[in-house]
Amino acid sequence: MKNRSLVALLMLPPLMLVGCAPEKLACPAMGYVNLDAVQLDLSGVPGVLAVSACFGTNDRCTPVPVTRDSSGRWLVPQKPPFVQPANASVPIPRIRVVATRADKSVTDHFYTVGHTPPRGGCDNSYELLPVKVS
* Domains within the chain, CATH numbers bracketed: 32-132 (2.60.40)
Peptide bond into 81 cis (omega under 30): yes
pLDDT tens across 75-123, in order?
999 999 999 999 999 999 999 999 999 898 899 999 999 999 988 777 7
Angle value at C-alpha 31, between 33 and 85, nearest 5 degrees: 40
DSSP structural state of residue 77: -
| Amino acid symbol at 7 | V
Q: Quick one: pLDDT at residue 3?
A: 53
- Residues in a beta bridge with 96: 54, 110
Per-residue pLDDT tens over the stretch 31-57? 778 999 999 999 999 899 999 999 998
Q: Under DSSP, is residue 15 helix (H, G, I), strand (E, B) or coil?
A: helix
